[in-house]
Structure 1
Amino acid sequence: MPCLVDLHGSATTLGLYYTAFGAGSLLGGLATGYLRRWPLWPITIGIVVGFGGAMLPLGLDVPVGLSLPAFTLAGLLWAPYRSTSMALFQRSTTTARLPHALAANGAVVVLAVPLGTMLGGPLMAAMGARHTLLLCAAATIALGGVAAGLARLPRRPSSTGGDPAGAGPAPEPQPRPDDPVSVGTA
């Protein structure tokens, strides 16, 4: 049976980290609505890179007084991610292709959580918690860097000849028979 080692952590400290992340997430969630006019690609990529950067202090040997505010910042930055990524999916594909894109995204997300957990256990056993957090923070920043590089690539026109996302030009609005303005003009 393996020997358990007390690393002098406490439930109070762990609770402080959860509270800090939750408080940051609450503020980030409230601020999400103000991002609607900002460009989605840079915001979403910035969230990923910023989150990785905010997680770095947890992987480094910094005091709780520095890592706790960093974890609050991580929560603040991460909160808008789901909304901005969903808006990107909706803007980047046609209505007909959207269910397929969202289903593929859902399949990846559903698999990513257990896969990350499955890989995290052996990594923590081999490297320790701090080094595993440091590796994850660095990998998150690198992933954001790759996304930033890919976002700068020129877009190819779709096979339909429309815009790069395949949506084409916006259709002209059609008058509705029950619209008082359009009655008698059709």
Structure 2
Amino acid sequence: MLRHRGVAGLLAGDLLAGAGTGMLLVAMPVQTLAIHGDVPRAVAIGLVAAAPFVLSTVLASVIGLGRAGVFPRTLLIADCVLRAATFTTLGVLAVTDRLTLPVLIGGLLVGSLFRLAGSSGRRLLATSMAGDDGRFAVNGLLGLNTSVALYVVGPVLGGIVVASAGAGVALLADAAGALVLLAAVLVFVPRMRADGDAVRRPPMGESGWRILRRRPVAARLLVVVFFFNFFYMPIEVALPLYVRGSLDAGASALGLLWGALGAGAFVGAALVNQLRNLPQRHVLIAIVGLWALCPITLAVTGDLTVAMIVFGLGGLVWAPFTPVAYSFVQSGLEPAEHQPVVTLWTTGATVAAPLGLLAGGPLVELAGVTGGLVLSGVLTLLLVPIAAAAVLGRR
């Protein structure tokens, strides 16, 4: 797939942009804790982490439920431009010590308007250029990008930058990453394709919801993915507090912990293509069960090295989930059905993030960091029999 100029260029831009976004995994909690004021720490972290998903979920839902297609390339360009402008502004305010919690939340609400639509557009563009034969490989490469940039390079660089220069510089780095992805889209992704596939705007047709109703296994899998993501989100709220409390460490340790997750995820994503001949439904169920053990184990250790090993193994297990799930869903779609279904599916899977983060803040505040991690794992374990019934049932 990397021999295809368009696919390679888009993936390279996505990789560099992801590194900037990965820096925010460290920068955002640190910045939030510096300006949270009278708002409880866990609640403030949850609000900031949830803000990018609110308006973007509304827009992506409109696209996925509607019948009129929108150019995926246009959506991705809009996301890059708005993100670059927003994070440049937030970064400047942070560097000059003028950033407040309401301004940060408001900026994330507006600046991430095209986040989900752009993300699904990026996947549509890459898999469309690769064709049916290359879809599984490209979904795996997108997962590999996420693992390397978002959870390895980004957090490690974020920990260094935040510790040495401050969180505001990391916000500016994310803006620069958005500009890099914008350049990659403009240069490597064609405006239109003559064969009418997903690179160009799909014709008027059915909504994503009606298409999913005809494919009940895909619809049930969406429910499983929603709750898998929902039960994960308290971890993102608890982790910065876990590092400060249980591990008695700072921003660099938080970056190393995310980096460990990414290192494991890198190996898991690199092995995705080896899983293509296995029963994909069974693979997805196994991932749900094995990941559930990660936060439970994390809660009972207070050593950074052990925590990194646990999180690394969690990343190894978790990484194949998204590429396998998307390949499974896309394999049963007609070309004109890809954009509404993938956009709606991405939205349905991702809307769990703001809901889980908003619930995770009060949950961690009440149950404590250790209790929040354990509860996240236990609820995910309870999802295993539900997932088995959902995806192994009648086709």
User: Normalising to structure 2: TM-score of the pair?
Assistant: 0.36
CA distance in 2, matches of 1:67, 1:99: 39
Alignment-mate amino acid for residue 82 of structure 1: T
In the alignment, structure 2 segments of 5+ residues that lack a partner are 1-37, 42-240
Aligned to 2:165: none
**How many equivalent pairs are there?**
154
CA distance in 1, matches of 2:392, 2:323: 22
Aligned to 1:151: 391
Q: Is it true that 1:25 corresponds to 2:259 in the alignment?
A: no
Q: Is it true that 1:13 corresponds to 2:245 in the alignment?
A: no
Contact 2:268 2:315 in 1 (8 A): yes
| DSSP-derived class of the 2:271 partner | helix
Contact 1:49 1:145 in 2 (8 A): no
| DSSP-derived class of the 1:72 partner | helix
Match 1:37 to one of 267, 270, 277 = 277
Aligned to 1:169: none
Contact 1:20 1:69 in 2 (8 A): yes
Structure 1 residue 81 displacement after superposition? 1.0
Structure 1 residue 84 displacement after superposition? 0.4
| DSSP-derived class of the 1:89 partner | helix
Aligned to 1:105: 345
Contact 1:59 1:133 in 2 (8 A): yes
CA distance in 1, matches of 2:40, 2:383: 37
Structure 1 residue 69 displacement after superposition? 1.0
Q: Is it true that 1:126 corresponds to 2:366 in the alignment?
A: yes
Structure 1 residue 109 displacement after superposition? 2.4
Q: How does 1:1-186 map to 2 (within 5 A)?
A: 7=245, 8-61=248-301, 63-91=303-331, 93-95=332-334, 98-153=338-393, 155=394, 164=395
After superposition, give the CA deviation of every residue in 1:27-61 in whole Å (9 maximum; x if it has no partner).
11111111111110011111111111122211234
Structure 1 residue 74 displacement after superposition? 0.8
Alignment-mate amino acid for residue 113 of structure 1: A
| DSSP-derived class of the 1:128 partner | helix
User: Normalising to structure 1: TM-score of the pair?
Assistant: 0.71
In the alignment, structure 1 segments of 5+ residues that lack a partner are 156-163, 165-186
Contact 2:263 2:312 in 1 (8 A): yes
| DSSP-derived class of the 2:277 partner | coil
Alignment-mate amino acid for residue 374 of structure 2: L
CA gap 1:2/1:118 in 2 versus in 1, 3 angstroms: closer
CA distance in 2, matches of 1:107, 1:32: 23
Greater Cα offset, 9-18 or 93-102: 93-102
Alignment-mate amino acid for residue 90 of structure 1: Q
CA distance in 2, matches of 1:24, 1:146: 27
Which of structure 1's runs of 4+ aligned residues deviate more than 4 A?
1-6, 96-100
Alignment-mate amino acid for residue 31 of structure 1: L
| DSSP-derived class of the 1:9 partner | coil
Greater Cα offset, 28-37 or 10-19: 10-19
> In proportion to residue count, which structure has more helix?
2
CA distance in 2, matches of 1:24, 1:3: 32
Alignment-mate amino acid for residue 53 of structure 1: L
Contact 1:55 1:137 in 2 (8 A): yes
Structure 1 residue 131 displacement after superposition? 1.0
Contact 2:296 2:373 in 1 (8 A): yes
Structure 1 residue 77 displacement after superposition? 1.2
* RMSD after superposition: 2.6
